[in-house]
Amino acid sequence: MNKYILSAFLAFATTFGAFAQANISPAKAQSKKIIIMGGILHVGNGQVYNNGYVVFEKGKITAAGDATTVKFSTADGEVINANGKHIYPGFIAPTNNLGLVEFESIKATIDFSEIGVMNPHIRSIVAYNTDSKVQATLRTNGVLMSQITPQGGTISGSSSVVQLDAWNWEDAVIKTDDAMHLSWPTMPRFRGFGGRGGFNAESFAERTQNAIAELKSFFAEAKAYNEGAKPAETNTRFAAMAGLFKGTQRLFINANTQKDIVAAVNFAKSFGITPVITGGSEAYLVTDFLKENNVGVVVDKPHSLPNNTDDDVNQPYKNVANLVNSGVLVAISIDGFWQQRNLPFMAGTASAWGLDKEKALQTITLNTAKILGMDKSIGSIESGKDATLFISAGDALDMKSNKVERAFIQGRDINLDNLHKQLDKKFSDKYGIK
């Protein structure tokens, strides 16, 4: 009983401490034309204008390019001088549980997984918490959009893509139920000495094959359900998979070893689906296969240990460059929710290990938008797209110089204050630190 009382007390104390900080209201809709002039414009598609400009109105970009070819005055709208600064498209964080968990030690605040193995009917968006203090810390580093993703089981459910400045999930959502998420059944990896609780390799292999067979059967039944005559009784799990077979929803499969990646892609192809591989720690070993099948890869956490004991110790840092330079469409992700603020620095690491700087930028902007099927509206600073972008005093992929000074989501000038800044000011004032 005492432990429950203690947990309740900690939950109250943590919640009180968090909400004691000033709340940050979402920005109002853009009311006037905004013109950013003179900055180093990183379009997001590989192009860079050393003296660039961007114009946006009513939440949409209307013009962008070389500032030496245009002239604007304050009569045309609000003019922002960005001389010597960098202009970037908003960064996109894929495959994470942002807004689905607030306190990892308190079960009642964890909404990213459900009981069961086959849960295609689960929709993460309805559990997304816009009142979390975490989103504001991401915006400070230029991460302005995220793919809110369920976890757990074999089929985890549907993700949705949101922008990170909203009153509620209905305001936040940019694309609802964009993808279904599946974890490919895989053999556990044993490290060190000794067995594991009486199980051997043969028993684990049998369990893995049984799980794959169950998955194939489930997909076959769901395909038949959705392509046949309207059934007398609704099966919510099968009905939730209709988008996969109609081509309106993407399939993200988490697989890491080269054997599992090939098996997962062939599985999806057998049902007429071109998947996206997430994780992909050994994807660099099957680049030709991935290109032949037009499969994109969301590489997980470049800052990690090698997958195998005899791998190059720096292999995780090189994965992104190896894939991109081989012609594979690649995005970068990172685990967790607090960690999403470090996403730009993962791309910075890729640029330090063999990848061109602008191509590294694409792995968290336009490439991610393409993998999500949203490149017509987000991912780069081009006419007709959402005005979701920011101005940084320095290189946004470098943690030393990343300093976001202004940020806009769908044209709205958002507040860049956050809990971390408030605490920094509070204790800097206390100890007289300038």
Q: What is the DSSP string of 181-217?
A: EEEPP-PPPP-SSS-BTTB-HHHHHHHHHHHHHHHHH
Strand duo 34-42 + 86-89: pairing: parallel
Q: What is the pLDDT of residue 16?
A: 42
Q: What is the pLDDT of residue 413?
A: 97
- DSSP H helices, 35-189, are 134-139, 169-172
Q: Look at residue 288 and tell me whether its pLDDT is greater than 50.
A: yes
Nearby residues of 328 by Cβ (< 8 Å), 6 or more positions away: 283, 287, 290, 291, 295, 296, 297
What's the DSSP call for residue 404? E
Compute the distance between CA of residue 89 and CA of residue 307 in angstroms, rounded to an integer.
32
Q: What is the pLDDT of residue 201?
A: 73
Q: What is the pLDDT of residue 203?
A: 79
User: Could you tell me the domains of the chain?
Assistant: 23-90+379-416 (2.30.40.10), 91-185+248-374 (3.20.20.140)
Q: In the chain, pLDDT over 70 holds for what percent of residues? A: 92
Q: With contact defined as beta carbons under 8 Å apart, do 87 and 381 qualify?
A: yes
| pTM (predicted TM-score) | 0.91
161-176 mean pLDDT = 97
pLDDT tens, residue by residue, 174-218: 999 999 999 999 876 655 545 555 567 787 788 889 999 999 999
Q: Look at residue 393 and tell me whether its pLDDT is greater than 90.
A: yes
Of 21-30, 188-197, 403-412, give the range with the top mean pLDDT. Answer: 403-412
For 184, list phi and psi in degrees, rounded to 5: -70, 130
Handedness of CA 183, 157, 159, 23 (dihedral sign): negative
Q: What is the pLDDT of residue 221?
A: 96
Amino acid identity of residue 53, one-letter, is: Y
Q: With contact defined as beta carbons under 8 Å apart, do 96 and 340 qualify?
A: yes
Compute the distance between CA of residue 290 and CA of residue 272 in angstroms, rounded to an integer.
16
Grouping H, G, I as helix, E, B as strand and the rest as coil, residue 405 is strand
Q: Look at residue 396 and tell me whether its pLDDT is greater than 50.
A: yes
User: Of 149, 177, 157, which is closest to residue 116 (Cα–Cα)?
Assistant: 157
Compute the distance between CA of residue 136 and CA of residue 140 in angstroms, rounded to an integer.
7
Q: With contact defined as beta carbons under 8 Å apart, do 63 and 57 qualify?
A: no
Q: Which tokens in the block code for residue 374?
A: 């949203």
